Amino acid sequence: MFPCINFDDHFSDFITRYTAANRQRYRNADAVEADVPRIYLEFLNTPADWLGGLTPGSYFTQYEDPKDLVDWLQEYCGRGIPVPDLLLEQIEAVGRPCEKRLLALLKDENAGEEAKMTAIGLLRSMESTLPKMLYIDWQLQREEDDDLADNGAESLAEMGRSVIQPVLEAVPKANDAGQQALLDVLMHFPSSEPVFRLALRMFREHPEKRSLFASYLGKLEDPRALPDLLAAANDPALGYVDYVEVRAAIERLGGEAPERSFDEDPEFWYMKSLDQ
């Protein structure tokens, strides 16, 4: 196994030694902080004894085997040592050959969440669509709070219109939290009839989330949503906070929301107090 060197600690030591040797350059700590980018470049290009005489900037460039690089990433995470940006940059530089190894990491049930979150970030930076179906699968039976699934959904939204059809096909198989997450993805591609129908259905079926789905309907700018939005705006059970979002959606679609009094709604007085 490759050594997991703490590059952050070595950079901190480098800064300490460098500023001590060049103290005449720096009036105060702010001056040092402003010069950190240049000091970091110096660090990258200075041969280091702790790397056998190699420079930090060249250390990881020796390695190009995707398995070694991704396993190394996992080892860092497993040991709780900060993953060097230089290792991540090398994985990106090797590029496509690393995608399958990163996908395998995401599918590994024994891999830790930190390693998986890092892998998602790398694949996103590499503009990879390879994990598309995996990210969709993560949404199907997800919990409301699921950082990994959320990160995967964010990546789906950046993959372009190729995700629309598989996401739409997945919606009926998903639980409520999953349907909401998949709709969040689809809202990045609003010019689609199926997306409108889904948003309208979610608005009808989830009165406890009217604010969220009303905002989606407003963003879709389809006036066919007005009857449902107006009915909701007139619902005596509608709270003030939800009313504000429903009203905004109605107005965005060219309608006129009914005037309502919320003098007996604690939400109204709480929001009013925030404005003072």
Contact assessment for residue 143 and residue 180, using Cβ atoms and an 8 Å cutoff: no
Same structural domain, 122 and 146:
no
Same structural domain, 29 and 121:
yes
User: Which ranges constitute the DSSP H helices of the chain?
Assistant: 7-21, 29-34, 36-44, 56-59, 66-79, 85-94, 96-107, 113-125, 132-140, 147-157, 164-170, 176-186, 193-205, 210-220, 226-233, 240-252, 266-274
Encoded tokens for 38: 């240049």
Same structural domain, 182 and 110:
no
Kindly compute the dihedral angle of the four CA atoms of residues 122, 126, 131, 136, in this order, to the nearest 10 degrees.
90
Asked, for residue 54, whether it belongs to a domain, the answer is yes
Asked, for residue 197, whether it belongs to a domain, the answer is no
- Residue keyed to tokens 């599918």: 107
Residue 140: Cβ within 10 Å count: 17
Tell whether the torsion through CA atoms of 85, 109, 63 and 156 is positive or negative: negative
Same structural domain, 69 and 118:
yes
Asked, for residue 253, whether it belongs to a domain, the answer is yes
Residue 145: Cβ within 10 Å count: 8
Same structural domain, 270 and 245:
yes
pLDDT in tens, the chain (276 residues): 689 999 999 999 999 999 999 988 888 889 999 999 999 999 999 999 999 999 999 999 999 999 999 999 999 999 999 999 999 999 999 999 999 999 999 999 999 999 999 999 999 999 999 999 999 999 999 999 999 999 999 999 999 999 999 999 999 899 989 999 999 999 988 777 888 998 999 999 889 889 999 999 999 999 999 999 999 999 988 888 889 999 999 999 999 999 888 877 777 676 777 765
Q: Of the residues 147, 164, 189, which one is the last residue of a structural domain?
A: 189
Same structural domain, 212 and 272:
yes
Tally of domains within the chain: 3
Same structural domain, 163 and 236:
no
Same structural domain, 135 and 210:
no
pTM of the model: 0.84
Radius of gyration, alpha carbons of the chain: 26
Same structural domain, 38 and 87:
yes
Q: Of the residues 89, 110, 128, which one is the last residue of a structural domain?
A: 128
Containing structural domain, residue 241? 202-276
Tell whether the torsion through CA atoms of 8, 14, 19 and 22 is positive or negative: negative
Measured CA to CA in angstroms, residue 58 lies from 53, 64, 76, 87, 137 at distances of 11, 12, 19, 10, 39
Tell whether the torsion through CA atoms of 51, 115, 164 and 227 is positive or negative: negative
